[in-house]
Structure 1
Amino acid sequence: MTSNLLDSKLDDILSRVLSNADGEVIAVNPSAGAIESLVRVATDFDGDLPSVRLLAEERTLKDVMDDFIVASNAADLIDADVLTLRTTADGGQNSLLVTEDSVVALVDAGSQVGGLTADDDGFVDAAYDTYDTQWDEADEFHLRTPPITRVRETLADEISADAEADFTTILDSLETARGDGDGLDEVTISLLVAAKNEALLYDISKWGEDVGIASKATFSRTKTKLEDMGLIDTEKVPIDVGRPRLRLKLGDDRLRDAESDELASAATSLLA
């Protein structure tokens, strides 16, 4: 790779670097946006991915991975042994993509993003050795979010195929899943899906805890909030032994009438 990559979209630069990389890529000090783009491009990549070592500030990684959509896809890549994450305390470094053949500096020029490329053998070897050493000395970043593939497979198995399809459609309709005003969080989405499919609170909360989304207590608290705000209703279902369990139902006509790809926007409006 000898030419500079003067593309307007960061995704295009990352895709070209991954396509041309022999061996592995070390992503050094990427911005939050670059981490999101890298996960997105790697997830959608058509072909054999090189292994990616991502070295970023811990605060930046935590902020990015608060988004369930990004984190669950990153967890998929980690599970596939494609991506590894470590943290650096030096946030003043340039944002680089280092391969065995080139060093690409990512430069944000406002309306355009550029990848300034160096491929001099001596320079590339020195840079690779430098960041390989930094990697060895860096701390591992432990991502607690479960892989999205596992989430979907277990949801289909333990709740229903329709619930999994609704969950996937809702995620696809969202830009983020943080629950901080910029999108619904994964627990709220799970409960809305369960209510749409009239699943039991016990079943969806047990699934959510087992797969690693959140504890049963978190599901219970979120259910209470959504019920208080009128988004979901519950009805008691008698069981042979013990207290009746609660069946979840959508509690507002705007939610009941919404298609799966409209459910998130309708719920967000009601929560505002």
Structure 2
Amino acid sequence: MASASQVAPTVAEVYRASFVDVPASNEIYVAGLGEDSTAGLIEVLADLDEPPTVWLLARESHLKWLRRDFQLASTAADLVADETLSLRVTEDEFESGLVVGEDSVISLVQTADQVAGLRTDDAEFVAAMRERCDESWEDTTPFDLRTPARSRVYETLADTFGSEVEADFRAMLEAVKTTRSDGNALNEVDLTLLAAAAHEIQLYEISRWGEDAGVASKATFSRAKSRLEKPGLIATEKVPIDVGRPRLRLRLGDDQLRGVEASDLPGAAQEMLASAPA
């Protein structure tokens, strides 16, 4: 780990400095984090070429908060699939955010605009903290994110509908600050439907893919379609089939959305949602 205590504007930068010299083979406990600190940890682990193995002990409420944001949860799911990150729920009280390595312990201390990573290499203290984390880990069970890995979503979307659809969805997902449902924020299902509408894909096809990929159920896609259809973001046209009711082809519903770059489409869509009658 880093050779001295670190002070930085964000917790993510403290993590980055703390992990920079840690061998990928090292196993590190992280415990006592809040929501923002958990998000920063996932961001840094995903960005490192050779991250250490991290065992995260967190309160159930924090991990459920993580699950509600597709961007964070799908990134975490990739890390779990790669065996870089393991998640477990604990009700044990940890005094502050802790990064417990094999030869040092870093305690995270935050002010309004800075974060300090205070490090100790005291062998006796490090051993005691490792033992405490070992015991806590053994008393817990793994937490299921119930979210598909981001790489798997991209891969199956491209395989099913082509690389252009995948590229547009990727650009839209990267353009939004969060997919956590909040006011006019667009979630992963909304963005999928916008990408599908831009390429005039049938609702049945995109919702079947979404359910198979673990993004959301067909019913969730149907409800999202109705939400976006009401203010005119998307429109549908009937596609007759030989047997049964006609299916619906999605298309962008407003002229101002057509021809917009994929990365700009979420912003334009959110403006329309904000100005739509309640």
Confirm or deny a common fold (TM above 0.5): yes
Give 1:135's aligned residue.
Answer: 137
Aligned-residue CA RMSD (Å):
1.4
Distance 1:90 1:218 in 2: 36
Moved more, 182-191 or 85-94: 85-94
Distance 1:21 1:233 in 2: 52
Give 1:5's aligned residue.
Answer: 6
Give 1:243's aligned residue.
Answer: 245
Secondary structure of the residue that 1:123 maps to in structure 2?
helix
Distance 2:255 2:235 in 1: 12
What is the percent sequence identity of the aligned residues? 46
Structure 2 stretches lacking a partner, 5+ long = none
Distance 2:177 2:134 in 1: 34
Distance 1:63 1:182 in 2: 19
Q: Does 1:159 align with 2:149?
A: no
| 1:52 maps to amino acid | V
Give 2:55's aligned residue.
Answer: 53
| 1:187 maps to amino acid | V
Give 1:31's aligned residue.
Answer: 34
Give 1:232's aligned residue.
Answer: 234
Task: Report the CA distance between 1:91 and its aligned residue.
Answer: 4.9
> Of 243, 253, 261, which aligns to 2:263?
261
Alignment of 1:115-264 (within 5 A): 115-181=117-183, 183-264=185-266
Decide whether aligned partners of structure 1 residues 206 and 27 sit closer, same or farther in structure 2, where only a CA change above 3 A counts: same
| 1:21 maps to amino acid | V
| 1:20 maps to amino acid | D
> Of 31, 41, 47, which aligns to 1:44?
47
Secondary structure of the residue that 1:20 maps to in structure 2?
coil
Are the counterparts in 1 of residues 154 and 170 from structure 2 also a CA contact under 8 Å?
yes
Are the counterparts in 1 of residues 236 and 248 from structure 2 also a CA contact under 8 Å?
yes
Distance 2:162 2:93 in 1: 45
Task: Report the CA distance between 1:148 and its aligned residue.
Answer: 0.3
Secondary structure of the residue that 2:6 maps to in structure 1?
coil
Q: Deviations over 1:215-258 (max 9, x none)?
A: 11111111122112211111111223322211100001222142
TM-score normalised by structure 1 residue count = 0.96
Secondary structure of the residue that 1:263 maps to in structure 2?
helix
Q: Report how many residues are paired.
A: 271
Secondary structure of the residue that 2:242 maps to in structure 1?
coil
Secondary structure of the residue that 2:8 maps to in structure 1?
coil
Decide whether aligned partners of structure 1 residues 68 and 91 sit closer, same or farther in structure 2, where only a CA change above 3 A counts: farther
Are the counterparts in 2 of residues 156 and 163 from structure 1 also a CA contact under 8 Å?
yes
Q: Deviations over 1:47-75 (max 9, x none)?
A: x2211101111101111221110000000
Give 1:17's aligned residue.
Answer: 18
Are the counterparts in 2 of residues 21 and 101 from structure 1 also a CA contact under 8 Å?
no
Distance 2:260 2:93 in 1: 44
Structure 1 stretches lacking a partner, 5+ long = none
Task: Report the CA distance between 1:16 and its aligned residue.
Answer: 2.1
Task: Report the CA distance between 1:138 and its aligned residue.
Answer: 1.7
Task: Report the CA distance between 1:24 and its aligned residue.
Answer: 1.1
